Amino acid sequence: MNPDIVKERQNATFNVEKLTNILDGSPEKTRRRREIESMVLNDPDFQEQDPNFLSRSERYDQAVRKSAQMILKLREFGISDPDEIYYYKNCVHPDRPEPLDLHLGMFLPTLLNQATPEQMDRFFTPAWNLQIIGTYAQTEMGHGWWRCSQRASCSATTPTVLPALTSEDWRPQATFDPATQEFVLNSPTISSIKWWPGGLGKTSNHAIVLAQLHTQGNCHGLHAFIVPIRDMDTHVPLPGIVVGDIGPKFGFSEVDNGFLKLENVRIPLDNMLMKYAKVEPDGTYVKPPSAKLTYGTMVFIRSMIVGQSALALAKSCTIAIRYSAVRHQSELKPGEPEPQILNFQTQQHKLFPVLATAYAFTFVGQYMKQTYNRISGDIHEGDYSGLPELHALSAGLKAFTTWAANGAIEVCRMSCGGHGYSRSSALPDIYVEFTPTCTYEGENTVMMLQTARYLLKSYSQARGGQQLQGSVSYLSRLQPQPVSAGVPPLNIQDLASLVQVYQLRAANLVELAATSIQQELQLRHSQEDAWNSSAIDLVRASDAGLLSVPQALQVSAHIKELLIQLRPNAVALVDAFDLNDKKLNSVLGRYDGNVYEHLFEWARHSPLNASEVPPALTIIVIIKHNQLIGSFFPRSTSLSTST
């Protein structure tokens, strides 16, 4: 054990185990999580080659093998609790995306939330047994969620008769044929080809496809359809299915993100998920209680991403803070030994806010999960009143936490100096695997705009005298006021006082956005144009502040005090995340602090070190010995002796 890391733990002023229990929810949950982690980490079936030294195909093959073993062992051990499945999966694939992610995280949950009991009997059990391997095909090549959210699509509540070619040809179409009791699915344009779904390229044999529903000459908006795409015995693509892998991406090397083109593919009537919306045998459409129910899986994933942001930050600051505790460099005072870089105030100012954010996101992730479960339970009982808030919360928090985490991971990497660039640190991989969360399941700017719509609607209700509940209740309590009106007295050490200032700031920003839209509406006479012309104000509203200059200086001074208070507990606070070395997979973030010995050992495993002279360098050796000079240079060329 590195003596610096030992000293850090001895200086801690709190019980690390108790804090771990709080993060997990209880001592029993900590015990069970560790038990599951031990099951995985000690199982020889999950041993793997370091993916940093494998090709993309090798990484995919290794991930598929481990995923199949994971499903078998989950059944063998009778693990069915969602939290325990999550623990198990995160140890099998330590926070790396894998080929069955969408099968487990989107295909199965969509069946649970949107399938009828009869459809559950047909599809869920085979899917749990891996006879059906599913994905969730939502995004198109030319019509991702950025475009979808910027304009209104074919309404799910107002049927629209479409001409031969409209903007909705960006999406696949499912047209009901009452003569055969089938839907006919087509990708009418090149841009309507499904693009990006994980597991679609090679792994899946079924897909839940989001397509525009057409029946009796009307379009009823996006609905979900279960579409077989490959033969369940041979795995060969079925007739009318053009499917494959989209190629390398920014990270996600283990995942076969794919494309899907539909050419007159026929599926039975009861392959449309009909827990809410329905199509009768004669083609009559029965609309759902809420159009937003179609996007329930999206909301679920956005809620999960909040927790993923917390985990990515927990891993990153664990690595950076542990490494900063054992790394010595530069002199604070001439003639004295080089200090730990964690003793430099600038290093603390980089890392301690990231550590605080990791804790904040952990708790807000738990809150988001509880909120999702509560409102989902209400929906199951027929109460849809909480659905708008759930959409707004999941969209806004998804955007905020992923943006913040994305930047903070890079702060951690840079704080590790040159070694932070090495994939042995794990920080480059954390960054490339996490960054796509800013785009998938809703591009972040669009997510902010969706939340802004909810805030403006709530603001209008509050101004009309309605008492708001939940996350926007402050709009009913506080009257927005201009910054020039002054700031209420602020005690920066009192949490209630800080919350009040943040609420007042938020109320002011919503007021500002509402005023901007009203002004634009008077000029442009179009709600859509007014919204678009105010979009920058809506997204950049967080740039405004309420603190006076003296208060800002007071905050700055207090932050420096907090850095001093946190310094003795920095390593203990990251230890409380309880990230096993195998799960962390970082040489710099090792629990024992023995960084340099293992960094050298890791480097020696590089495939380039398999031989002292790689075969590709043979040609250089030949040139050096002048054995092929004539074939490379004209005989008239003058070569020096050294050449």
DSSP state string for 464-495: TT----GGGTHHHH-----GGG------TT-H
Give the length of the chain: 643
DSSP state string for 396-410: HHHHHHHHHHHHHHH
Which SS3 state, helix, strand or coil, does residue 18 take? helix
Annotated binding residue at 198?
A: yes
Strands (E), 171-217: 173-177, 182-186, 194-195, 206-215
Annotated binding residue at 160?
A: no
Q: Is 441 a catalytic residue?
A: yes
Question: Which of 197, 194, 234, 221 is closest to 110 using CA atoms?
Answer: 197
CA distance 98 to 315: 19
Question: Which of 588, 609, 606, 608 is closest to 598 using CA atoms?
Answer: 588
Question: Which of 350, 355, 349 is closest to 314 using CA atoms?
Answer: 355
Contacts of 99 (CB under 8 A, 6+ apart): 60, 63, 64, 67, 198, 199, 202, 203, 254, 255, 256
Region of 379 please: left (phi>0), alpha (psi -120 to 50) or beta. Answer: alpha
β-pair partners for 473: none
Give me 152's structure tokens.
């209104």
Question: Which of 224, 210, 217, 209 is closest to 159 using CA atoms?
Answer: 217
- Could you write out the three-class secondary structure of 592-639? CCCHHHHHHHHHHCCHHHHCCCCHHHHHHHHHHCCCCHHHHCCCCCCC
CA distance 259 to 140: 9
Catalytic residue, candidates 168, 389, 441, 511: 441
Residue entry with tokens 């083609």: 283
CA distance 469 to 393: 13
Count CB atoms within 10 A of the CB of residue 531: 20
CA distance 62 to 173: 36
Contact 101, 164 (CB under 8 A): no
Q: List residues forming the annotated binding site for FAD.
A: 139, 198
Residues labelled as active-site residues = 441
